[in-house]
Structure 1
Amino acid sequence: MPPKKTILRDAAPYLPELTLDCVILSFHEDRLKVLLLRWKGTQEWSLPGGPIQRNEAVDAAANRILKERTGLDDIFLQQFHVFGEVERYNREEIRHKLKHLIDPDKWYERAVSVGYYALVDYTKVTPTPDAYTEQCAWWDVQHTPALLFDHNHIIHVARQALRTQLSWQPIGYNLLPEQFTLPELQRLYEAILGKTLDPRNFQRKMLSLGILERLAERRRGGAHKSPYLYRFKKEQYELKLKEGNLFFT
């Protein structure tokens, strides 16, 4: 199978000059993480992605690529932007950096990319490189390296979309484990929003929505008082999302 970023003129089974870029996000150790790939023989990193087959729906292509990189099916996936600027990045620089892997003459003169973000459980992912890369790893989304192509910009736009959609997409139960504490839920919201929230106001807001079920168990082993575990009442959560009643801005 051609690699994730085969923006090549002779890729006949694929739609010419149209690609996908996937911002795969997880939440681990109170940090929002993004999955990146390192190209063979380099220290250059980029997002997962790839071309779209001629007989393949765009969403199906995104799901295929995500399964290849994570090993997961049934991933929460959201299309968030189309990157179609004529000059998205320095093409000559890319050709030079990757000439040992791809013939510089075979790159597209231009590629339009459909951006997707995916929300996954960190513990369930098996990071898997593709044919042209040798490492697939999680990075703190706030401390990514300088990426190939325009992928730092794509991550920035994805984070903006995630913040906007936090009030009407099921972000929480796609990034948290099934059972979690209120402080863990707050730290997830803070990681997405990029700001500190008042604990009392946050807990009052979340509990007033009726979307959380408190369990009998507590989180043990911490330095502080053992907090109760909660889980989402998914039907009520979906209803509140439809009402757009989850704003924390």
Structure 2
Amino acid sequence: MTDTETQFLQTYDPAEYERPSVAVDLILMSVVDGAPAVLLIRRTEQPAKDKWALPGGFVGIDESLDAAAHRVLREKARMDDAYVEQLYTFGAVDRDPRMRIISVAYFALLPADRYAAALKNSSGDLTLARVAVHWPGETGGPVAAVGEDGPLPLAFDNADMLGLAMLRLRGKLDYSSVGFALLPEYFTLRQLQDVHEAILGVQLNKPAFRRRMLDKGWVEATGEREIGASFRPAELYRFKPLSQASERT
């Protein structure tokens, strides 16, 4: 069988078949000033010149998808480390005017302070834009990105990518620990509620929310209180590891 396969490969011509290019796009999200936010980069070349896009790039011929995602994270998002996972594959035939390009979107949630160094050294080509969701609950659909001076034009199908990321977040928020990835190690219950309200786009009842979080067993008190508060400092909590708190997947 080995000889037969070897002979077959010697005569096989991959040029007989059209091959699409493959890219990765990174959806790096946080919650900033009470609203979901995403890291965007301004495109300096055509197509979609001067529009804003998710950090992305083509996958090398000898590169895995995950390796390409981490390379883009370093080179374009200017971050050394982040947990990234595949979100969805976008393969509409006309999604890019250059050629047939299939993009694998990767998703990462980070506390707001993780973006500081990247933005400081960006020379204006990176920004944290507010994600404006115009659909209720888990309806789904594209979303808009809003900068300091108003809406930012998004390149390609990046609005659809952002919309799917928000839909995934809203769907997982109540039954998984995903929201804790947007918080520092120690946080107040008010900060935790702010994250949930920002993602869901609704105001939550404070006593009911806190009771639900405590009943789930996802948080534990640290015995410490926040520093620098104007009034009575709030108690600080931390996420309870999954080995101690059960989580439904």
Settle same-fold status: TM greater than 0.5.
yes
Q: TM-score, normalised by structure 2?
A: 0.74
Structure 2: gaps spanning 5 or more residues: 1-18, 133-144, 147-151
Which protein shows a greater Rg? 2
Q: What are the superposed Cα offsets for residues 39-71 of structure 1, whole Å, 9 maximum, x if unpaired?
A: 238642111111111122112211221133132
Q: 1:67 to 1:169 in 2, by over 3 A?
A: farther
Which stretch has the larger CA shift, 178-187 or 222-231? 222-231
Q: Are 2:141 and 1:137 equivalent residues in the alignment?
A: no
Aligned to 2:64: 57
Aligned to 2:25: 21
Q: 1:32 to 1:77 in 2, by over 3 A?
A: same
Q: Are 2:110 and 1:115 equivalent residues in the alignment?
A: no
AA paired with 1:116? Y
Which stretch has the larger CA shift, 214-223 or 28-37? 214-223
Deviation of residue 128 (structure 1)? 6.5
Q: What are the superposed Cα offsets for residues 196-242 of structure 1, whole Å, 9 maximum, x if unpaired?
A: 211111100111122212122222444554221111111357x432x
How many pairs are equivalent?
A: 209
2:79 aligned residue (71, 80, 93) = 71
Q: Once the two structures are aligned, what percentage of the paired residues are identical?
A: 34
1:184 aligned residue (191, 194, 199) = 191
Using the alignment, how far apart are the partners of 1:19 and 1:206 within structure 2?
39
Q: TM-score, normalised by structure 1?
A: 0.74
AA paired with 1:44? K
In the TM superposition, what are the counterparts of 1:204-219 in structure 2 within 5 Å?
A: 204-219=211-226
Aligned to 2:118: 127
Q: Are 2:246 and 1:240 equivalent residues in the alignment?
A: yes
Structure 1: gaps spanning 5 or more residues: 1-14, 92-106, 245-249
Q: What are the superposed Cα offsets for residues 70-93 of structure 1, whole Å, 9 maximum, x if unpaired?
A: 3232x222211111111236x3xx
AA paired with 2:80? L
AA paired with 2:206? P
Using the alignment, how far apart are the partners of 1:197 and 1:20 within structure 2?
36
The one of the two structures with greater contact order (alpha-carbon pairs below 8 A, sep at least 6) is 1
Using the alignment, how far apart are the partners of 1:184 and 1:194 within structure 2?
15
SS at match of 2:217: coil
Which stretch has the larger CA shift, 193-202 or 216-225? 216-225
Using the alignment, how far apart are the partners of 1:152 and 1:177 within structure 2?
28
